[in-house]
Structure 1
Amino acid sequence: MSSGDKKQSGLARVLGSASAGVCEIGVFHPIDTITKRMMSNQTRVTTASKLNQVIFRDMAEAPIGKRLLSLYPGLGYAACYKILQRVYKYGGQPFVKEYLTSNYKENFDNMFGTHTGKAMLSATAGSIIGIGEVFLLPLDVMKIKSQTNPEAFKGRGFLKIMQDEGLNNLYKGWGWTVARNIPGSFALFGGNTFAKEYIFHLKDHNSASMAQNFGASICGACASLIVSAPLDVVKTRIQNKNFDSQETGWTIVKNMMKQEGVTSFFKGLTPKLLTTGPKLVFSFAMAQTLIPAFDRALAPKPKRND
């Protein structure tokens, strides 16, 4: 049974999602570095000088130009990871959603009602696609370590690190990543669809204007970041350790509770909402706008009858 949304081609989904990833990297990589460094910081930040040290590390006293350049570590890893992630997530979720729509739409409608059922179906498809995102974890690990713990690389390239460390170290924290992605992706796609249903009253969500896509993406992104924040902090702290660290996620949770308190699980949430939030909104809205645009551009032109 159809959901009412026009289907796009697979190529359009890949091109639109990849383009959104490229735009996101170009604009937001320095902001992402700042967020990751603040999330990894385990000390109190009470002065501007301390904040400067947390953000710029050993470049805290360098000229402003060098300080800004220091916010671009791991750009290659970030580009590979982000583009593949966006293609997989934004391009893949519609396929899962279409499968669920074809086979389970009536179940969702009967359980939640037509409009809420559509949002829940989209959210469930997001959760499923979020689980598979764990396969990209090695690139995410490389990106985060290069941003927060560059000495872990010691001049080694990706292939050398793969050989030296093995998959076990590169997939360290995979369970916490899955635990974060399930509610995070559920809220992202569910909140987005909910907004298109109840705020913009769209019958075909793929016909949304850019402004509507940005508005719906804000709802989804905020819900996603708030829901996934505690697990994201634990995941980041696992990944920013040296490769030989044996500290588990539960050990990190226990130490955070003991030494920093419950509020530590929401460290970096405010800057994340102010920085990662716009990044996620930007890429999600761009993907939702560009995918239909590529689909229209790639559609066969009708033959003219001369």
Structure 2
Amino acid sequence: MAPAVVEQVAQSAAKDFKKESATARLLGSGSAGIAELAIFHPVDTIAKRLMSNQGKVTSAARLNEVIFKDKAHVSVGQKFGSLFPGLGYAAAYKVLQRIYKYGGQPFARDYLALHHGDSFDRAFGKGNGKAIMHATAGSLIGIGEIVLLPLDILKIKRQTNPEAFRGRGVVRIVRDEGMGLYRGAGWTAARNAPGSFALFGGSAAAKQYLYTLNDYNSATWLQNFVASICGATASLVVSAPLDVIKTRIQNRNFENPESGFKILGRMAREEGASSFFKGLTPKLLMTGPKLVFSFWLAQTLIPAFDKVL
């Protein structure tokens, strides 16, 4: 029995070419992005504000001020409302990002399987090659995600530094700042490459080795959920230091930019090594579930839509 199981599990990466329709990929990933935004935008705001905080949080009162800023001493309802700044930018960014990332990775994976699947098999062995191919496709898509960087920058500034807008609308900002809206693109790509590799690779590894699935699309909703937890946790931990630097680059005033290397040096000198993991705990506890939720939903909905379309 054992040899038969091993043969079944060790499927060639070159044969991992799917036939899901582009419509299914669009609907599945887009639905995941919309659902994630509706539920988790306040959580994202809290995480971004904690990462942007350069001082030490030594009391509950200080934590309240960091999270709610000028709304720290108003009613609970107003506090909650203050966690939705930049929702328009967030909606555009998050939905487009999820469509691009979750819907685009299958296309990158199909290309690699069709043209380079044998190379992955030879380099890593069947099974291993297939999981690493999924991770590599995710990494390539993650790097290309910098196309959406201006929307991410506008979202982060609205969440953490609304003074940067000073009454200017988005059209005026785009006209004034131009390519400045791509500030931090290199750091974003550096964060996304390993982060997306870990996200898709961790999920693929769970399906490959934990559930011994030949066809990852055949995973049940529970198997997809567990695989998403593995991928999301790995992604957040791996990308945490670069994510802090990226956020600090993007939340500064437009007229007072600062390079990532300057931020890195100052953080190491003044805040210590632990500063590179600021916000990791709330990200794992709050942003982690957001990523798990959207990734699980996309992995579940894309095959489901494909069956009914």
Identity level (%): 63
2:165 is matched with 153
Q: Secondary structure at the match of 1:155?
A: coil
The question of 1:121 aligning with 2:121 is answered: no
The question of 1:274 aligning with 2:260 is answered: no
For 2:165, give the aligned amino acid.
F
For 1:153, give the aligned amino acid.
F
Runs of 4+ in 1 over 4 A off after TM superposition: none
Q: Aligned equivalents of 1:159 and 1:202: distance in 2? A: 49
Of 40, 51, 69, which residue of structure 2 is paired with 1:39? 51
Q: Secondary structure at the match of 1:65?
A: helix
The question of 1:81 aligning with 2:93 is answered: yes
* Paired residues for 1:60-75 under 5 Å: 60-75=72-87
RMSD: 1.0
Query: Shift of the alpha carbon at 1:112?
Result: 1.2
Q: Secondary structure at the match of 1:282?
A: helix
Q: Aligned equivalents of 1:43 and 1:247: distance in 2? A: 18
Normalised by the length of structure 2, the TM-score is 0.94
1:301 is matched with none
Query: Shift of the alpha carbon at 1:4?
Result: 4.5
Q: Aligned equivalents of 2:305 and 2:38: distance in 1? A: 21
Give deviations 1:156-203, integer Å, cap 9, x for gaps: 221111011112x10000000000010001111111100000011111
For 1:174, give the aligned amino acid.
A
Q: Aligned equivalents of 1:5 and 1:193: distance in 2? A: 15
For 2:192, give the aligned amino acid.
N
2:209 is matched with 198
Q: How many residues align?
A: 297
1:27 is matched with 39
Q: Aligned equivalents of 1:4 and 1:178: distance in 2? A: 27
The question of 1:227 aligning with 2:254 is answered: no
Q: Aligned equivalents of 1:3 and 1:226: distance in 2? A: 31
Of 107, 119, 122, which residue of structure 2 is paired with 1:95? 107
Query: Shift of the alpha carbon at 1:155?
Result: 2.1
2:256 is matched with 245
Structure 2 residue runs without a partner (length 5+): 1-12
Please say if residues 5 and 204 of structure 1, whose CA atoms lie closer than 8 Å, have aligned partners that are also in contact. no
For 1:119, give the aligned amino acid.
A
Please say if residues 14 and 116 of structure 2, whose CA atoms lie closer than 8 Å, have aligned partners that are also in contact. no
Of 297, 301, 306, which residue of structure 2 is paired with 1:290? 301
For 1:214, give the aligned amino acid.
F
- Point out the more displaced range, 111-120 or 250-259: 111-120
Of 111, 118, 128, which residue of structure 2 is paired with 1:106? 118
Q: Aligned equivalents of 1:125 and 1:180: distance in 2? A: 15
Please say if residues 5 and 203 of structure 1, whose CA atoms lie closer than 8 Å, have aligned partners that are also in contact. no
Normalised by the length of structure 1, the TM-score is 0.95
Q: Aligned equivalents of 1:79 and 1:5: distance in 2? A: 32
For 1:151, give the aligned amino acid.
E
